[in-house]
Chains A and B, each alone.
Chain A
Amino acid sequence: MTDVILEKIGKTYPNGYHAIPSVDLSIEEGEFIVLVGPSGCGKSTLLRMVAGLESISDGELRIRGERMNEKEPAERDIAMVFQNYALYPHMTVYNNMAYGLKNRKVSKEVIEKKVTDVAEMLGLTDLLQRKPGQLSGGQRQRVAMGRAMVRDPKVFLFDEPLSNLDAKLRVQMRVEIRQLQRKLGTTTLYVTHDQVEAMTLADRLVVLNKGNAEQIGTPMDLYNKPATPFVASFIGSPSMNLLPANLVEQGIKISNSLTLPLPHDYRGGVVWGIRPEHLEVSDEQNADFALRIQAVESLGAETLIHGLLEEESKKGIPMVVRLSGPHLPELNSLMWLTAPVKHWHLFDEITQQRL
């Protein structure tokens, strides 16, 4: 069943700034949708429009078939977890979680039962009488989630909830959020700028760029078949190697001396891309191109090699290669690489669309 529908949703600020031109998205019940994009792409604005904290200028928002545009945040049956948690500092953890229920005139016994249940689920039972100021970052994060969960809303909204945590805690909470969401089966809309978070959490991802949804799909769809160079470079770390090129008779011409063979009937400017993990080391005869090594990042399980293309000193386009296991090539030495055709990504230079 479709749970949340965004139909041609747009946002124009009173000063005329067109933050979001038009976004279409339909979310299935229980689905975990992640809105991802660089800062300023409109992802938080979109989330806040769903929450009712920002007005909707164009289009329609429906939750369970009901139009929500004019409804107050409280009437939309949503719960939101804020980036800074927005816990009420003068209330205990218990009261923070109970506040929304009290406002909805839920009876005391029911409130107590719900709060203790959720607190138990989140491991907050011993902290119920504390104030937010006495909690660690991770605990506050949990309380913020608990506050959202006790109300048992139709939709969870998360606005970069993990960005204030340290790296280790972030990974831990990420896993926990995913498990909780699966367990509760609540439709979730999650905003982040971190593509790793996005890939690991999402059932489906929405990549936003300048207020436009560049691509909507499962993490693997986006990784394997990015629709635009923007998505290609945004999803995956390190990002995809992208080179301007021309499609010619014999194949794809990257520079005067380098033409990769590919039979194709398209002629014209393209953006050619390959992921760092898909480049293969080869010998000089079979190589598609040579890379002058500039820097080596050894991460133990894998090695990232940064280099510049050695092409008649034409441009020196940077390229990254990802190899599994430890490697220690010498700096400034040459590395011979092949780029298997099946891993190529081609985009039209003008329309920026995948070919």
Chain B
Amino acid sequence: MTVTFPQKGLPWLLLLPQLLVTAIFFLWPAEQALEQAFYQEDAFGLSREFVGFENFIDLFTDPLYYQSMLTTLFFSFSVAILGISVALLLAVMADRVIRGKLAYQTLLIWPYAVAPALAGVLWWILFDPSMGPIALWLNSAGVDWNHYLNGNQAMILVVIASTWKQISYNFLFFLAGLQAVPRSLIEAASIDGASPFKRFWTIVFPLLSPTTFFLLVVNLVYAFFETFGVIDATTKGGPGQSTNTLVYKVFEDGFVGLDLGGSAAQSVVLMGIVGLMTVIQFRFIERKVQYS
């Protein structure tokens, strides 16, 4: 369907606010980052010098950058896989509940409304080695919990803190997906002699696979780009480099290390990754998997 406007100006007027927001908050900074990436700037921003691809060369010869990349991959897949598994388990259970269904579902969706930084603080308090209830309980159970010193524990903490919020989001999609599986299929499978466990893995799970794949991409994008708040509130990328993801490194190198050129070059690399993921999303997800 095509809508035609009598005046040529009106459509542009209606688009203007969105175009302005996009231009000011996305296009302009992107352009700035792109420009910055080719300059070397002093810490006070008083002078700068064109250095060509030097920032990129530095970046790709820096072992720390590769380490951060691996950290990010590990972190992102952990968040995505953990988030998807737990959400699926919860959705399956919530779908089976008959009494108080709405209450369970509402409560499970709530964490999504919590701001990332707040979620980070929440987990930071819970796991604080000197006063956090979970940390104290772990200590009494014989686990020496201190994520300020132990890199693996720090990683576990940021994964948990980042996953927690995402579980609600995934849960919502899985619940809708489960409710879309026709009851008669499950009944047919039970007449066909499949145990509940087998019914899930051979009928329900395959039917949810479009949802699962969609969530995998969305969760990876989330873990890659939107977990700055959580990491900043819990570990600040430490200890050492153990939770320093690519996004956090952009911030740290740029605003803590004051290497603006290097930070900008990293941003450009991230922009490339975002572009790639968008392509994947459009190529594989928009082309819906059809079952009829």
Contacts and interface: CB of A to CB of B under 8 A. Distances in A.
Interface of A: 51-53, 72-74, 78-80, 82-84, 86-90, 99-100, 103-104, 132-133, 147, 151
B158 to A, nearest CB: 36
Contact of A133 (B185, B191, B193, B290): B290
28 contacts: A51-B191, A52-B191, A53-B187, A53-B191, A73-B191, A74-B193, A74-B194, A80-B191, A82-B184, A82-B187, A87-B188, A88-B185, A89-B291, A90-B206, A90-B209, A90-B291, A99-B189, A99-B192, A99-B194, A100-B191, A100-B192, A100-B193, A103-B193, A103-B194, A103-B198, A104-B193, A133-B290, A147-B188
A82 B290 CA distance: 21
B190 interface: yes
B203 interface: yes
Contacts of A87: 188
B265 to A, nearest CB: 45
A89 B193 contact: no
Interface in B200-247: 202-203, 206-207, 209
Given A90-B206, A90-B207, A103-B198, A84 B184 contact: yes
A86 B292 CA distance: 10
A82 B194 CA distance: 17
B45 interface: no
B182 interface: yes
Nearest to B206: A90
A255 to B, nearest CB: 51
A80 B191 CA distance: 8
Indicate the member of A78, A80, A99, A104 with the most B CB atoms within 10 Å.
A99
Contact of B192 (A74, A83, A90): A74
Contacts of A84: 182, 184
Contacts of A78: 191
B190 A73 contact: yes
Nearest to A131: B291
Contacts of B290: 133
Interface string B124-165: 000000000000000000000000000000000000000000
Contacts of A132: 292
Contacts, number: 62
A174 to B, nearest CB: 22
A139 B191 CA distance: 21
B30 to A, nearest CB: 41
Contacts of A72: 190
B236 to A, nearest CB: 46
A57 B43 CA distance: 81
Going nearest first, the 4 A-B pairs with the smallest beta carbon separation are: A100-B192, A89-B291, A86-B184, A103-B193
Contacts of A103: 192-194, 198
Nearest to B187: A53
A86 B193 contact: no
Nearest to B98: A14
A288 to B, nearest CB: 52
A321 to B, nearest CB: 43
Contacts of B185: 86, 88
Interface string B55-96: 000000000000000000000000000000000000000000
A63 to B, nearest CB: 14
A215 B188 CA distance: 30
A104 B192 CA distance: 8
A8 B176 CA distance: 40
Contacts of B184: 82-84, 86
B74 to A, nearest CB: 32
Contacts of A86: 182, 184-185, 187-188
A82 B191 CA distance: 11
Nearest to A99: B192
Indicate the member of B189, B193, B206, B207 with the most A CB atoms within 10 Å.
B193
Contacts of A52: 191
A51 B184 CA distance: 12
Interface string B165-201: 0000000000000000010110111111110001000
A148 to B, nearest CB: 9
Indicate the member of B190, B192, B193 with the most A CB atoms within 10 Å.
B192
Contacts of B190: 53, 72-74
B292 A74 contact: no
Indicate the member of B189, B190, B191, B290 with the most A CB atoms within 10 Å.
B191
A99 B291 CA distance: 18
A86 B186 CA distance: 9
A147 B192 CA distance: 9
Given A82-B184, A133-B291, A88 B203 contact: yes
A221 to B, nearest CB: 32
A147 B191 CA distance: 11
A56 B161 CA distance: 48
Contact of B187 (A73, A90, A104): A73
Interface string B40-63: 000000000000000000000000
A79 B191 contact: yes
A52 B193 CA distance: 12
